[in-house]
Amino acid sequence: MAQRIIGLTGGIATGKSSVAAYLESRYELPILDADLYARDAVKPGSVALTNIVHRYGAEILLANGHLDRKQLGNIVFNDKSERAWLEGQIHPYVRERILSTQRQLANPVIVTVVPLLFEAKLTDLVTEIWVVVCSEEQQCQRLMQRDSISQSQAEARVASQMPMMEKASRGTVVLYNDADCPYLYVQVDQAIN
């Protein structure tokens, strides 16, 4: 039987992590997280981090030599061309890590969490696409709370991504996260079964 590879995506702060954590704990599914691979891509000594420092200067680093993600976010979330350049540094590494990890797993179902699944053109790595959606207002509120950023910063980050309804229209399954977690989990249970 062919492996079922769920591509879990959605806008920033829509609840992808909640869905992934539920799938991992309730169904014991392996979770591949593109965000973790992206962080790994820019670790000290990496080619990507070297390129980032060359482009933006050493001020883009924290005192410990790690990338200042907040400062980098302020640059790329306000400039489409800079965001595209950065994604060009990171996405090939993320693609390779996802592919190599998927090949190593014999599980019948794998969950691959990729916030930029469509934007990074990684849809070929999955067999179905689940899109987590919520209102833009909720997205901004969650983002402001989670990342301790201003309303305008949150709006810029939401606006930098593909519109939510466009993602939803491309999905196999749409999970609505406008209510509480139990409602979200009922939808996940229906989708997995």
For the chain, report the end-to-end CA distance as a whole number of angstroms: 16
pLDDT of residue 77: 83
pLDDT of residue 155: 93
Whole-angstrom CA distances from 110 to 32, 38, 93, 98, 188 are 8, 19, 19, 11, 14
Helix axis angle for 47-56 and 69-76, nearest 10°, is: 60
> What residue has token string 């996405």?
91
Q: Which contiguous run of DSSP H or E holds residue 8?
A: strand 4-10
How far is Cα 88 from Cα 83, in angstroms, rounded to an integer? 9
DSSP strand pairing (4-10 vs 109-113)? parallel
* pTM: predicted TM-score of the whole model, two decimal places: 0.91
- pLDDT 10s digits, 45-65: 999 999 999 999 999 999 999
Q: Any alpha helices (H) in the chain, and if so which ranges?
A: 16-27, 34-41, 47-56, 69-76, 80-104, 136-147, 151-159, 164-170, 181-192
Whole-angstrom CA distances from 37 to 1, 40, 77, 150, 162 are 28, 5, 20, 27, 21
Domains, the chain, ordered by start: 4-192 (3.40.50.300)
Give me the phi and psi of 71, to 5 degrees please: -65, -40
pLDDT of residue 64: 96
From 9-13, 19-23, 93-97, 179-183, the region with the lowest mean pLDDT: 179-183
Instruction: Tokens for 101, please give them.
Output: 């990890």
Instruction: Tokens for 79, please give them.
Output: 């400039």
- pLDDT 10s digits, 125-165: 999 999 999 999 999 999 999 999 999 999 988 998 899 99
